[in-house]
Amino acid sequence: MLSTPFSCYNNFMKILNLADIHYDLNNTHLHYPASHEMVTKLFSWLNEHAKEYDLITISGDITVKGTTTKDELSYVKDRFDQLDTPYIIIPGNHDLCPLKKMEERYPGLEEYEYTSLENTNFYKVFGEDGVRYSKVINNIHFIGFAIRNDDPDKILDWLQQELLSPYEKIVFCHFPIIPTRELGFCSTWDYFRIENSINPLNDLIFNKDYKVKAYFCGHQHINSIIKVNNTYHIETASSVLGSCSYRVIDILEKNITISTHFFNGPNNWVGDLLLIDRSVDTTHGNPYEYQRGNQQDLYMQIERESP
């Protein structure tokens, strides 16, 4: 959602892209113990650096227990409201559970809310812009959305309408919609949460007519960039777990550059990597490279179309 008006009126924008910041209120036990210190450091870092950006975007999983603990969502919103930089925050599965019966697997942690989108914790805290964000800035159409597996909220219809606009687009969601590695855990892991929506999302996002320059997501806590048709599918790793990194999106007149930066800290991609024994493929020779990303996962220049 957008907290303050945009202040840039030229053809240049600098955007900070984060994912999976996983704030945990810690009222029972920490789900990601290694991230706890990094979350605090991240908010301090944002206090100092947010003003260097025209926009901050977070590709979901801003909390650990947001589906049952509204205070986690409110805390994160308060912290971003204080920054004085506009932001787009859309939900991940820890903030708005997309799949029924997940509460049987992760009680208290990731519970499906059997109610309308408007009655969910996430909507109550972040409102309409948190689930259906749409704004054209400097001739680029920014779209962010929440999605639940069976699409009870008719987000796909809404998205299709938005994609009909004539502008180049940058889209934000939480979930990867293609395999992000050719082998290893990310080739198969955790696409099931939105399995009924993945194919229609592929048809929309990668349709050349819709001019989606980049689709940003999170979820698997790795850095990955893969081109499909004319669209770059860009997964951003967690800012507080594993690689502890963030992306910077520079929008220039002729191109868009994506660069990746690593926080220095005690948990800086040492330990706490997911599924280490399944983190190798032919282009990522060890678990650190698999999750941190190789050169092609870390920097990309995307040509813009002439108006």
Strand, coil or helix: 175: coil
Question: Which of positions 2-61 make contact with Fe ion (CB under 5 A)?
Answer: 20, 61
CB of 186 vs Fe ion, minimal distance in Å: 13
Q: Report the candidate in 128, 131, 2 with the shortest Cα–Cα distance to residue 54.
A: 2
108: tokens are 């208290």
Q: Which is nearer to Fe ion, 54 or 61 (CB)?
A: 61
Taken in order 305, 233, 91, 247, the sign of the CA dihedral is negative
CB of 283 vs Fe ion, minimal distance in Å: 23
Q: Where are the beta strands (DSSP E) in the chain?
A: 13-18, 55-58, 87-89, 132-137, 140-145, 168-172, 212-217, 224-228, 231-235, 245-251, 255-262, 300-303
What length does the chain have? Answer: 307
Distance separating alpha carbons of residues 81 and 138, to the nearest angstrom: 23
Q: Which is nearer to Fe ion, 93 or 180 (CB)?
A: 93
Q: Which is nearer to Fe ion, 20 or 103 (CB)?
A: 20
The 71-100 contact track toward Fe ion, x by CB under 5 A, reads: ---------------------xx-------
Q: Which is nearer to Fe ion, 102 or 302 (CB)?
A: 102
The 217-246 contact track toward Fe ion, x by CB under 5 A, reads: --x---------------------------
Residues 6+ apart with CB under 8 A from 263: 38, 41, 42, 45, 239, 244, 245, 246
CB of 93 vs Fe ion, minimal distance in Å: 4
Q: Which is nearer to Fe ion, 61 or 168 (CB)?
A: 61
Please count the residues of this chain forming the interface with Fe ion, following the rule CB under 5 A.
5
CB of 8 vs Fe ion, minimal distance in Å: 30
Q: Which is nearer to Fe ion, 148 or 219 (CB)?
A: 219
Q: Note the residues at the interface with Fe ion (CB under 5 A).
A: 20, 61, 92-93, 219
